[in-house]
A and B are shown apart, each in its own frame.
Chain A
Amino acid sequence: MTPDALEDFLSLSVDLTAFERTDLLGTGLARQYLAKVRDACGEDVVTALLEAHRAARTEAAEDGARPDPQRLDRALRHRIFSEERLGPVARNVIKLWYAGTWYGLPPEWTDSYGAQPAAETSTVTAASYQEGLLWRAIAANPPGAKAPGYGAWARPPAIEDRYLKGRSHDRTG
């Protein structure tokens, strides 16, 4: 595995998950996740996915500036999410980060692009479940791990403010 591929995979993952690079590295699982995607889909697919992502970022960034979010969204939809081969894989990468589980690809995907030995639904390690980003997104702990402490449940969930916008009609005062 080249360090470049890992960097590219992280950059893709940041866009797919909306978690910072440091958060993703903090799970300690980035390397294993990349390896998992390779084992499950094959090297070619991973290379194509990373390339498509690079291209999308370039397309969305005029004159080497930071990519414009709206244009990046459009480019990702056009180049990756709607793409027959890459779309399902990208969605699986999202779920891998959020749930810690690699979900088997849909049968039409494997029919077209071949099944790899490691393609079925599986957890990557016991730790991957605990590191799922889903739990952080909803300000909860993964059930059975990372316990928040006695009585913590009596306080409101520590969901980041930006996700509570527009839903605060009776949270005033």
Chain B
Amino acid sequence: MFVKFPEGEAKRTDPTTAGGVVYDAVIVGGGIAGALIAARLGAAGKSVLILDAGPAEDLTLRGYESYLDRFYSATNKDNQSPYPVNPNAPMPRGTDARRIFPGVPDSSAYIVQSGPFATDTTYTRVLGGTTMHWEAKTPRMLPEDFQMRSLYGEGADWPLTYEDLAPYYNEAEYEIGVSADVDDQSYLGITFDDDYVFPMQGLPLSYLDQVVARDVDGMPVELDGVQRELRVRPWPQGRNGVPNPAYNGGEGYVPEGAVSTYQVEVGERCQGNNNCVPICPVQAKYHAGKTLARALQNPQVHLVGQAVAYKVHVDEHTGRVTEIEYRRYDKPDSAHFTTERARSRLFVLAANAVENPRLMLASGLRGSNGLMGRNFMDHAYLLAWARLPEPAGTFRGTNCTGGITELRGGRFRRRQAAFSVDIHNDGWGWARGAPMSDLADLVDAGGRYGESLRQGLVDRVSTQLLLAFMVEVPANPSNRVTVDPAYTDHLGNMRPILTYDIPDYTMRGVAYARQLSKRIFARLGAEDHTQYDPSFWGYAVYGGEGYEIRGGNHLAGTHMMGHDRSMSVVDKDQRSWDHENLYLVGGGSMPTVSTSNVTLTIAALSLRSVRAMLDQLAKESAPIRVTSEARAQGLPREVTL
């Protein structure tokens, strides 16, 4: 089934007219967090205005295809390559990362990096947000991840438990459309309701996973006195598979297809394009444009694009947010803009864990405890690569179908970071630019052509195995996002400045991961080709060994939730302690990143917060004045607060 994007919707709402309306909620950011909240509030009869920094273009098939064309034509196919450069709403790019020298921040790209550790972490500022190019792995967090401080004395505790979030994980899996099997996903304390099944059946493991499993399944590993056996396990995936007829007590599940303004026949089952990052050509992969399109079908939900939030205005006496001032640029390639404002009863910042604190800090709102922007987290990725004794095939299937999860949890977390392991279906691509680097090497240095080239490619590329260890990084107040008027973008918005270091706790996990990779390769009879380059921008030395550490794109922690207002920025509903009508939603609210890719949890938290928002709107019902003019234009009711 296709998802209808209401034609012309991206331009329908006039910003100035909208500025005269008091909405129930203004949401900054049309990524997965913002889109889910907009859809739910709209469905509950609330009026919503979404402001998004990306270009105000309808999500059409043609528009989507232009992303694809840009990708096909790009000589450098990095993960932002499908998306046009937009100086008015700039975004970080993986290729931006440079080595940082002490005392010299790198301001050459959108995020100013003051180090000491450089990161290539990215996000996307287009309608639908970063899920346009996410990989769509959707593991749940472990129950122990919510109690890291009390169980292991590291990081922070959540004000929520796994059980509190579990019903919302179910809902998030519905909204994203997750393909997985309960049997595979029940481990290390993850439990499901008795009759629960995922919306769609799990995707089959790749042949490469199966080759790895032959040797790795049953591999004994002892850590902190606890014995465990590794196994290759399929990842839950936010991409369309075979609908599970048993879903929802036998009602089944209808997957969502491509977003378009007219009916199209694409977007059904994943076809194995192996291109989930940066863009799925057929929209089999979930992206928040699907939720956004659904939200916008509700006439109560409005969207203004090309709207970059500039400042959050607050009433000095009550602390309540009064309006969001934003800059609406005329065109992506022109710096001309008009200043507009948006008013509502509730305000929701859903611009992601870097942009949310950036906006708050640029508005002078550091928080009464000074924690805004602090405790930035991401995953630290360590890659290890080897050559298998036989060609198992690379570049087939989704980017990643299977992994190893036994070391996501356990007592060892008192001493060292946990991790999950991805078996990459795209060879040494991430580490060393395969297969193009192999081609160039075989031809230019190896003198290969014709048959010997074809043989060389099979020998070199089809035998590649890459393991990616996704290592947890605990919260640390000195890892932070700040702003400085010295660094602004094209529109005059202050740019985010990132200060980030990898703690020893994580590095102990990294060092252990490297040792484990050697054992796994030995068990496979694979030839270890891992070599870490000291000139790599993310090179880090620990215990006399050097490692290449990469960013995880899993931004979190910058407006952490907690029980105690002196120690956190938001409460368990993601409501600001300082500003009672303001919600900061997304990865920024998470007190730990642990070892799950963050987005399913972001979605679950967002869905959970909708309840609190609706309760608050019900409680704070101010008198409402309906103007005939607004109704004629299908605008929301005007309210006087």
| Chain A interfacial positions (CB closer than 8 Å to B) | 15-18, 76-77, 81, 90-91, 94-95, 98-99, 101, 103, 121-123, 125-127, 129-130, 134-135, 137-141, 143-145, 147-157, 159, 163-164, 167-171
Given the known inter-chain contacts A138-B461, A159-B393, A170-B389, please indicate yes or no for A150 contacting B270, CB distance below 8 A. yes
Q: How many residues of B contact A (CB 8 A)?
A: 56
Q: Which residues of A are found within 8 Å of B206, using beta-carbon distances?
A: 153-154
Tell me whether B273 and A167 are in contact (CB under 8 A).
no
Residue of A whose beta carbon sits closest to that of B269 = A150
Residue of A whose beta carbon sits closest to that of B242 = A150
Q: Which residues of B are found within 8 Å of A90, using beta-carbon distances?
A: 449
> When chains A and B are docked, how far (Å) is the Cα of A92 from the Cα of B73?
18
Tell me whether B272 and A134 are in contact (CB under 8 A).
no
Tell me whether B69 and A170 are in contact (CB under 8 A).
no
Tell me whether B271 and A95 are in contact (CB under 8 A).
no
A-B contact pairs, 19 of them (CB 8 A): A16-B450, A81-B449, A94-B453, A122-B75, A126-B72, A129-B72, A140-B274, A140-B393, A140-B396, A143-B273, A144-B281, A149-B272, A150-B241, A155-B207, A159-B393, A163-B454, A163-B455, A163-B458, A167-B391
Chain A nearest CB: distance from B508 CB in Å?
35
Tell me whether A138 and B241 are in contact (CB under 8 A).
no
Question: Interface with A: B289-297, B315-323, B434-442, B626-634, which one?
Answer: B434-442
Residue of A whose beta carbon sits closest to that of B464 = A138
Q: Which of A123, A134, A159 touches B435 (beta carbons < 8 Å)?
A: A134
Q: Which of A121, A140, A153 touches B204 (beta carbons < 8 Å)?
A: A153
Tell me whether A148 and B272 are in contact (CB under 8 A).
yes
Chain B nearest CB: distance from A55 CB in Å?
17
> When chains A and B are docked, how far (Å) is the Cα of A90 from the Cα of B448?
11
Tell me whether B453 and A18 are in contact (CB under 8 A).
yes
> When chains A and B are docked, how far (Å) is the Cα of A150 from the Cα of B444?
36
Verify if B451 is at the interface (C-beta below 8 Å from A).
Answer: yes
Tell me whether A95 and B393 are in contact (CB under 8 A).
no
Given the known inter-chain contacts A16-B449, A154-B210, please indicate yes or no for A141 contacting B462, CB distance below 8 A. no
> When chains A and B are docked, how far (Å) is the Cα of A60 from the Cα of B516?
53
Chain A nearest CB: distance from B155 CB in Å?
36
Please, what's the 1-or-0 string for B183-216, where 1 marks a CB less than 8 Å from any CB in chain A? 0000000000000000000011111001000000
> When chains A and B are docked, how far (Å) is the Cα of A129 from the Cα of B439?
14
> When chains A and B are docked, how far (Å) is the Cα of A138 from the Cα of B69?
24
Residue of A whose beta carbon sits closest to that of B82 = A144
Q: Which residues of B are found within 8 Å of A94, using beta-carbon distances?
A: 443, 449, 453
Most chain B CB inside 10 Å of its own CB: which residue of A81, A129, A168: A129
Please, what's the 1-or-0 string for B323-339, where 1 marks a CB less than 8 Å from any CB in chain A? 00000000000000000
Give 8 closest A-B pairs by Cβ, nearest first. A153-B397, A157-B393, A147-B271, A144-B275, A126-B72, A140-B395, A143-B275, A18-B450
Q: Which of A17, A137, A150, A167 touches B449 (beta carbons < 8 Å)?
A: A17
Tell me whether A164 and B451 are in contact (CB under 8 A).
no
Q: Which of B74, B272, B392, B395 touches A152 (beta carbons < 8 Å)?
A: B272
> When chains A and B are docked, how far (Å) is the Cα of A167 from the Cα of B392?
11
Instruction: List residues of B (15-72) whose CB comes within 8 Å of A's CBs.
Output: 68-69, 71-72
Tell me whether A159 and B449 are in contact (CB under 8 A).
no
Verify if B457 is at the interface (C-beta below 8 Å from A).
Answer: yes
Q: Which residues of A are found within 8 Å of B271, using beta-carbon distances?
A: 147-150
> When chains A and B are docked, how far (Å) is the Cα of A153 from the Cα of B397?
5
> When chains A and B are docked, how far (Å) is the Cα of A134 from the Cα of B450?
12
Residue of B whose beta carbon sits closest to that of A123 = B73
Residue of A whose beta carbon sits closest to that of B447 = A81
Q: Which residues of A are found within 8 Å of B462, using beta-carbon distances?
A: 138-139, 157, 159
> When chains A and B are docked, how far (Å) is the Cα of A135 from the Cα of B435?
9
> When chains A and B are docked, how far (Å) is the Cα of A145 from the Cα of B279?
11
Chain A nearest CB: distance from B47 CB in Å?
39
Q: Which residues of B are found within 8 Å of A95, using beta-carbon distances?
A: 439-440, 443
Q: Which residues of A are found within 8 Å of B279, using beta-carbon distances?
A: 144
Q: Which residues of A are found within 8 Å of B458, using beta-carbon distances?
A: 137-138, 159, 163-164
Verify if B282 is at the interface (C-beta below 8 Å from A).
Answer: yes
Verify if B229 is at the interface (C-beta below 8 Å from A).
Answer: no
Instruction: List residues of B (299-318) whose CB comes within 8 Å of A's CBs.
Output: none
Q: Which residues of A are found within 8 Å of B270, using beta-carbon distances?
A: 150
Verify if B401 is at the interface (C-beta below 8 Å from A).
Answer: yes
> When chains A and B are docked, how far (Å) is the Cα of A20 from the Cα of B312?
64
Tell me whether B439 and A156 are in contact (CB under 8 A).
no
Verify if B426 is at the interface (C-beta below 8 Å from A).
Answer: yes
Please, what's the 1-or-0 string for B392-424, where 1 marks a CB less than 8 Å from any CB in chain A? 111111100100000000000000000000000
> When chains A and B are docked, how far (Å) is the Cα of A142 from the Cα of B322?
51
Q: Which residues of B are found within 8 Å of A153, using beta-carbon distances?
A: 204, 206-207, 272, 396-398, 401, 425
Given the known inter-chain contacts A17-B450, A101-B75, A152-B396, please indicate yes or no for A143 contacting B444, CB distance below 8 A. no
Chain B nearest CB: distance from A77 CB in Å?
8
Residue of B whose beta carbon sits closest to that of A130 = B72
Verify if B171 is at the interface (C-beta below 8 Å from A).
Answer: no
Most chain B CB inside 10 Å of its own CB: which residue of A130, A147, A171: A147
Most chain B CB inside 10 Å of its own CB: which residue of A103, A123, A154, A170: A154
Tell me whether B71 and A144 are in contact (CB under 8 A).
yes
Chain B nearest CB: distance from A17 CB in Å?
7
Please, what's the 1-or-0 string for B486-510, where 1 marks a CB less than 8 Å from any CB in chain A? 0000000000000000000000000
Chain A nearest CB: distance from B286 CB in Å?
16
Tell me whether B72 and A99 are in contact (CB under 8 A).
no
Q: Which residues of A are found within 8 Å of B447, using beta-carbon distances?
A: 77, 81
Given the known inter-chain contacts A123-B72, A126-B69, A143-B395, please indicate yes or no for A167 contacting B459, CB distance below 8 A. yes
Tell me whether B273 and A91 are in contact (CB under 8 A).
no
Verify if B533 is at the interface (C-beta below 8 Å from A).
Answer: no
> When chains A and B are docked, how far (Å) is the Cα of A157 from the Cα of B401?
16
Given the known inter-chain contacts A153-B272, A155-B207, please indicate yes or no for A145 contacting B281, CB distance below 8 A. yes
Given the known inter-chain contacts A18-B453, A94-B449, A154-B206, please indicate yes or no for A147 contacting B389, CB distance below 8 A. no
Q: Which residues of B are found within 8 Å of A148, using beta-carbon distances?
A: 271-272, 396
Tell me whether B282 and A147 are in contact (CB under 8 A).
yes
Tell me whether A138 and B425 are in contact (CB under 8 A).
no
Tell me whether A91 and B443 are in contact (CB under 8 A).
yes
Q: Which residues of A are found within 8 Å of B449, using beta-carbon distances?
A: 15-18, 76, 81, 90-91, 94
Q: Which residues of B are found within 8 Å of A77, using beta-carbon distances?
A: 447
Q: Which residues of B are found within 8 Å of A138, using beta-carbon distances?
A: 393-395, 435, 457-458, 461-462
> When chains A and B are docked, how far (Å) is the Cα of A39 from the Cα of B205?
46
Verify if B390 is at the interface (C-beta below 8 Å from A).
Answer: yes
Q: Which residues of B are found within 8 Å of A123, using beta-carbon distances?
A: 72-75
Chain B nearest CB: distance from A84 CB in Å?
15
Given A138-B461, A148-B396, A150-B272, 8 more A-B residue pairs with CB atoms under 8 Å apart are A77-B447, A140-B395, A141-B273, A141-B274, A143-B273, A144-B275, A164-B458, A170-B390
